[in-house]
Chains A and B, each alone.
Chain A
Amino acid sequence: MNFFQPILILSAAYLVVFGEATFALPRQLLGAQIDLLPALMVYAALNASLPVIVLLAVLGGLWFDTFSANPLGVTILPLFAIGFPIYLRRDLILREAPFAQFVLGATASAIAPALTLLMLLSGSQEPLLGWGTIWQWIVMTAGGGLAAPVIFSLMSRCDRALGYQPQTETSFRADREIQRSRKKL
């Protein structure tokens, strides 16, 4: 079994969460922090197995909530709600096309915070909401959409460079080669 891909995806989630908590530049410039976990979930849903998607939803959600004032575990379901439907339909999605990656990343980045807020509001929490939330939502959606092709490219490169690839067998067999020659009669 190839363990490289799950390790790569979970390591990326680990770094993404840490980066979001420590790197404040997007918040200072745009007024909102861009969440890359939904875009990473899109990559995982299109390229990894179901257990990896489950692990990413659970661990990514828990890590995110650890650094946030969110109740622990509230981000797990929104992340899985993105990854699971994409996984079920992934044979129909053009995963190599950057536009498809952008659309999926943007959609995932729009749905994830909306679902999380819905869960927070239904759980008697009082998050900071206002007209500015719409701007933050737009920034998160656009940021996630733009980040998705970059994540796809980076992860594929890492996978190709560091992970082992299945060996392809050639159909050429020397013992079945047709020898062509001119026979003199």
Chain B
Amino acid sequence: MFKQKNYVALGAVLFVAVLILSLPTRATDRIKLALGAWFLPLFGLAGAAQQLPADLADSALPRRELLKQIDKLRRENQQLRSQAVQSVAIARENDQLRSLLGWQRQMPWKLKLANVVMRDPANWWRTAEIDLGSRDGVRVDLPVITAAGLVGRVSSVSLLRSQIVLIGDPNCRVSATVENATHDMGVIVASGPIDTSLVELTYLASSANLKPGEIVKSSGLGGVFPKGITIGQIVDSRSIEYGLYTEARVKLSANLGSLEQVWVLFP
């Protein structure tokens, strides 16, 4: 049953696996980058295939409908412009007050739009890949958001693509605060492998009095996520370890199950 060629095959696979597993992270990142490049033709094909129905739908849209949409967008644009003028005035006033109090000036967020090109094929990680890389200025630990709320952070970067670790993955912990009278603080950790919309807010004070529906935002502690990014809403809470601390379930604002476009937040 066990011929020499079987021993050779077994030895070869063991050798290759152990060799690759023992490589330093930097080297494995480079190999991942090189192997990922093999799939670029398929990415191109998939992108073109996704674009085709949208193009066809655009070309089939009647002129009247387009004019109606333009009119609607114009009105929305005017409304947003007036809001922008107002917010500039508020920001200026905020800066003046901050300088009077001797506080550090707040910098406005710089955002870059990215497309989510793939998800982690393994069920035990929550990561995704976006089409921005080091060429676009992306670097490790930059926060990633959508209009609805926090999504995660950049975990590794290649020239053209970056991997983002989503909120709810064991490798993405966020310091968070609840928008209530006591501003209870805790840490967002993973909850379970199936429901991507729920996470746990743990290490809350035992006296924390949380109500369902209260908003949870990033606290700004930890240095990765800026303060004030919406994370989600409290679903329920319970006491842990005979009242040592409180834990709450949080429903995420961003829909991580169907991410298509995200914003990378530059400091």
Contacts and interface: CB of A to CB of B under 8 A. Distances in A.
A27 B123 CA distance: 9
Contacts of A116: 122
Interface in B2-26: 2, 5-6, 9-10, 12-14, 16-17, 19-21, 23
Nearest to A140: B123
B144 to A, nearest CB: 15
Nearest to A69: B125
Interface in A1-47: 14-15, 17-18, 20-22, 24, 27-28, 31-33, 35
B119 A21 contact: yes
Given A50-B9, A76-B20, A132-B192, A33 B118 contact: no
Given A18-B39, A51-B9, A128-B125, A67 B118 contact: yes
Given A28-B258, A73-B17, A126 B122 contact: no
Interface stretch (B28-36, B60-68, B70-78, B228-236): B28-36
B46 interface: yes
Nearest to A35: B121
Given A17-B121, A58-B13, A120-B124, A72 B192 contact: no
A68 B122 contact: yes
A76 B9 CA distance: 13
A69 B163 contact: yes
A68 B21 CA distance: 15
A113 interface: yes
B249 to A, nearest CB: 13
Interface residues of A, number: 55
Contact of B120 (A14, A15, A69): A69
A67 B193 contact: no
A89 to B, nearest CB: 8
Interface in B178-218: 190-195
A60 to B, nearest CB: 11
Contacts of B5: 50
A74 B126 CA distance: 17
Contacts of A99: none
A127 B190 CA distance: 10
Nearest to A113: B123
A68 B127 contact: yes
Contact of B257 (A28, A33, A50): A28
- The size bracket of the interface on B is 35 or more
Contact of B20 (A73, A133, A136): A73
Contacts of A31: 193-195
Nearest to A32: B123
Interface string A130-151: 1111011000100000000000
Contacts of A22: 46, 117-119
Given A33-B123, A67-B121, A18 B42 contact: yes
Interface stretch (B51-59, B83-91, B164-172, B238-246): B164-172
Contacts of B38: 14, 63
B107 interface: no
Contact of B194 (A61, A120, A132): A132
Contact of A129 (B2, B35, B124): B124
A37 B183 CA distance: 48
A51 B13 CA distance: 10
Given A131-B192, A132-B194, A64 B120 contact: no
B17 to A, nearest CB: 4
B225 to A, nearest CB: 19
B129 interface: yes
Interface of B: 1-2, 5-6, 9-10, 12-14, 16-17, 19-21, 23, 28, 31-32, 35-36, 38-39, 42, 46, 117-127, 129, 155, 163, 165, 168-171, 190-195, 257-258
Given A24-B257, A132-B195, 20 more contacts: A15-B42, A20-B121, A24-B258, A27-B257, A35-B121, A62-B31, A63-B35, A66-B32, A67-B121, A68-B125, A69-B155, A71-B28, A72-B21, A73-B28, A77-B14, A88-B2, A88-B6, A128-B193, A130-B192, A136-B193
10 contacts: A18-B42, A27-B119, A58-B16, A71-B28, A76-B16, A77-B17, A84-B6, A88-B1, A129-B193, A132-B194
